[in-house]
Amino acid sequence: MSNYNVAMMDIHSPLSLIPNTHTSTVAKLKKLGLHTFQDLLSYFPVRYVDYRLTSKIGQVQAGETVTVSGRVKESKNHHVRRNFSIQKVTIFDETGELELTWFNQPYIVRMTPPNAVIAAAGTIERQGGSLIMKPIEYEVQKPGSLQGVHTGRIVPIYAQRFGLTSRLLREKIAWVLAHTRYDNMIDWLPDDIRSRHNLLEYSKTIRAIHAPKNDHDIAVARRRLSFDELFTLHISALVVRQNWQKKSVIRQLVLTPAITKHIETFVHGLPFSLTKSQKDAWLHILRDLQKQSPMNRLLQGDVGSGKTVVASLASFFVALQGLSTLFMCPTEVLAKQHADTLQRLFENHKDISIKLVTSRSTAMLNDQKPSIIVGTHALIASTRSFENVGLIIIDEQHRFGVVQRGLLKEKGGIPHVLTMTATPIPRTVALTIFGDLDMSVLYDKPSGRKTTKTYVVPDTKREKAYAWIAMMMQTHGTQTYIVCPRIEQNDTDDASAETVGSMRAAVAEAKRLQENVFPQFRVGLLHGKLKASEKDTVMQKFTKRELDILVTTTVVEVGIDVPNATIMMIEGAERFGLAQLHQLRGRVGRNEKQSYCLLFTSDGVKHSARLHFFAKTTDGMRLAEYDFKQRGSGDIYGTAQSGHSSVLQMASIFDYELVARAKDAAYDFLKEYSPLKHPLVAKRLEKLQSNRVTKD
């Protein structure tokens, strides 16, 4: 079918109606929860690259990021060696010739036969005596196809998931924008709120976010979408709070003198004494647990502040009443680790059973003995009845409130809920956006901890750094994490990892390090695509010091606790948000020894101000704030905020002005809100509530 003169299509059409869309693509989009054109338009870019500057071939200059177009003169595939080939395509216009170079993408040659007209975008480099480009984006101009989708404009970058590439998503979204009347889409946000807070209309927002003409477009679109998130979250939190207060617990727990004694003995038996904050938090929790109304408390504490032991005290108290605890973790690796920790803590309490539930088994709660059941977030879905469950602990949850909303649907009594997070949340914001939660904060770190020394290391010192790490491991018996930003060249299940750079793939990197750099040490590999049992084995080995080096992706980001590891080296550090780097760095500095964090970048000095700030700052809250301010000051092309452990996709909790506006709007709105009167708002709330928890 020709794309010219197609009648405008309905925004509710199924995605299979987009021309040249394979059924497997439709299936993948479905996995993302995208079914209709309208759904697709709500999949927003994570960042942008500016390819607006176009140039005649004869006028390009080294270092310039530019779009060029021309006719193909010659297109050749050079097979260099196994698994390595170079594609060279020469294009020309009336002013000159330019060589475009790709690596390991032989299909490029098929796409660019002589005489084809192509546009390519990237940075001009000097190679030998001539200028070349290694295009980041390109497009072949064909009659009837959309032009200027991947080049010649501010190009949106989409998070790549389930094998959907940013390029494919960009193509489909551009097609939908060109072929639907999205401009008369109804705005779900009531008009008066929109105008009072000076927010862009929804349809204009959709255009501006996917096809911005300039930076201003992006800024106003993001402001509107951020408001949407904050407003929805706020209403949802208020509704949860109202309903939560009407609930009661399965059985009220009591603190008898005998139980007090048990707990004291338990605390004395710990290998350390609790910090002041840990004691305070525990007292808050203990008070909550004795109430008739279920607890809904957030325990916030920076990485390494010792949240786990507070959680185990809570589960101990619950077990002493004959009730079980569900302990939910974001990853299986972490679940295994927590199960081991609890096993050790409860060694002298054989009457409490610790169970690890993996993705293949389901929770069995029919025992006589109270249990602490540890598993991933899927745990709650596999729990049929909460009859014997006194407490649910949620460690490092990606989305707040999911479990709570599920529990509100229960007919009878419900368990207490304790949520733990290392995400820095300013107190005032927590009390507004997460208004459904009470909050305890661990301000102080366990004593005797040194701050982790952090350095931004230039690539020229790489060999020296390796030698130093080897020396440290040799003489101090310490262990090292080496973090790579992604698994393999084309695996980009991560918002921040989609462009081709010099990032080292973890798999290849582990091999290289073992063979060429650290032959005398034992190198292990951990990444998200390993089977659960394989991850397990690797983690066990690292914990038991049967491995010296763990090469890993960001799966180590959350919660992993191996105190003997005191060195962390991060590759492609500029790819990460500061909050994420902080999480990663939190894996070291877990005992009284001096720890080190070495940051390597894949593209030199460009982001070093940010990284230097990181190197000298240890406060997670300040780091998160810094990242937000940078984005706020127009750094829209920079590192995307990682979806990991971030509560919001578009908005930032450090945007105090917008948070306050959303709060006021939500309070006012709730006074008159009814799902019947505001069906679109009701639908958005529903969508927020059905958002699945991200899987490991």
Kindly list the residues in this chain that would bind Mg ion in the complex (CB under 5 A): 559
Of ligand ADP, Mg ion, none, which one does residue 161 interact with (CB within 5 to 8 Å by kind)? none
Residue 662: what residue type? Answer: A
Contact 495, 642 (CB under 8 A): yes
Of ligand ADP, Mg ion, none, which one does residue 180 interact with (CB within 5 to 8 Å by kind)? none
Contact 176, 41 (CB under 8 A): yes
Of Mg ion, ligand ADP, none, which one does residue 664 interact with (CB within 5 to 8 Å by kind)? none
Which residue's CB comes closest to ligand ADP? 306
583 binds ligand ADP (CB under 6 A): no
Minimum CB separation of residue 395 from ligand ADP in Å reads 7
Quote the Cα angle for 681-685-688, to 5°: 140
In the list 300, 305, 601, 646, the residue contacting ligand ADP (rule: CB under 6 A) is 305
Contact 644, 423 (CB under 8 A): no
Contacts (CB under 6 A) with ligand ADP, residues 225-284:
272, 274-275, 278
**What is the DSSP code (8-state) at residue 461?**
G
Q: How far apart are CA 117 and CA 119, in angstroms?
A: 7
Of ligand ADP, Mg ion, none, which one does residue 561 interact with (CB within 5 to 8 Å by kind)? ligand ADP
- Using CA atoms, how far residue 400 sits from 72, 209, 347, 418, in Å, is 53, 26, 32, 11
Of Mg ion, ligand ADP, none, which one does residue 405 interact with (CB within 5 to 8 Å by kind)? none
Characterize the bridge pairing of strands 96-103 and 84-93: antiparallel
Radius of gyration of the chain (CA): 27
- Which range of residues in 307-315, 410-418, 480-488, 575-583 is near ligand ADP by CB under 6 A? 307-315
Structure tokens at 375: 């598993």
In the list 70, 152, 294, 306, the residue contacting ligand ADP (rule: CB under 6 A) is 306
SS3 333: helix
Of Mg ion, ligand ADP, none, which one does residue 560 interact with (CB within 5 to 8 Å by kind)? none
The angle, 0 to 180 degrees and rounded to 10, between the axes of the packed helices 257-268 and 307-319 is 150
- Using CA atoms, how far residue 434 sits from 65, 430, 459, 523, 648, in Å, is 43, 5, 43, 42, 12
- Which range of residues in 160-168, 305-313, 314-322, 605-613 is near ligand ADP by CB under 6 A? 305-313
User: Concatenated DSSP letters for 206-260?
Assistant: HHHHHS-SSHHHHHHHHHHHHHHHHHHHHHHHHHHHHHHTT--BSS-----HHHH
In the list 330, 370, 401, 446, the residue contacting ligand ADP (rule: CB under 6 A) is 446
Minimum CB separation of residue 307 from Mg ion in Å reads 5
| Closer residue to Mg ion in complex, CB, 45/559 | 559
Minimum CB separation of residue 640 from ligand ADP in Å reads 24
- Which range of residues in 4-12, 297-305, 324-332, 520-528 is near ligand ADP by CB under 6 A? 297-305
SS3 100: strand
H/E element, 510: helix 506-512
Contacts (CB under 6 A) with ligand ADP, residues 394-423:
422
590 binds ligand ADP (CB under 6 A): yes
Minimum CB separation of residue 303 from ligand ADP in Å reads 4
Q: How far apart are CA 505 and CA 13, in angstroms?
A: 39
Site of tokens 């097609």: 175
Residue 529: what residue type? Answer: K
14 binds ligand ADP (CB under 6 A): no
Minimum CB separation of residue 586 from Mg ion in Å reads 9
Of ligand ADP, Mg ion, none, which one does residue 446 interact with (CB within 5 to 8 Å by kind)? ligand ADP
| Closer residue to Mg ion in complex, CB, 108/334 | 334
93 - beta bridge partners? 96
Minimum CB separation of residue 484 from ligand ADP in Å reads 23
| Closer residue to ligand ADP in complex, CB, 162/443 | 443
User: Concatenated DSSP letters for 541-577?
Assistant: HHHTTS-SEEEE-GGGSSS---TTEEEEEETTGGGS-
Minimum CB separation of residue 53 from ligand ADP in Å reads 45
Minimum CB separation of residue 19 from Mg ion in Å reads 48
**What is the DSSP code (8-state) at residue 395?**
E
Q: How far apart are CA 614 and CA 609, in angstroms?
A: 9
| Closer residue to ligand ADP in complex, CB, 13/564 | 564
Contact 326, 392 (CB under 8 A): yes
What does the longest C-alpha to C-alpha distance in the chain come to?
A: 91
Q: What are phi and psi of 338, to 5 degrees?
A: -65, -40
Minimum CB separation of residue 574 from ligand ADP in Å reads 25
Minimum CB separation of residue 596 from ligand ADP in Å reads 18
- Percentages helix, strand, coil for the chain (3-state, rounded to 5) are 40, 20, 40
| Closer residue to ligand ADP in complex, CB, 162/272 | 272
Encoded one letter per residue, x for contact with ligand ADP by CB under 6 A and - for no contact, window 308-347 reads xx--------------------------------------
Minimum CB separation of residue 446 from ligand ADP in Å reads 3
472 binds ligand ADP (CB under 6 A): no
Minimum CB separation of residue 375 from Mg ion in Å reads 15
Give the footprint of ligand ADP on this chain (CB under 6 A): 272, 274-275, 278, 301, 303-309, 422, 446, 559, 561, 563, 590
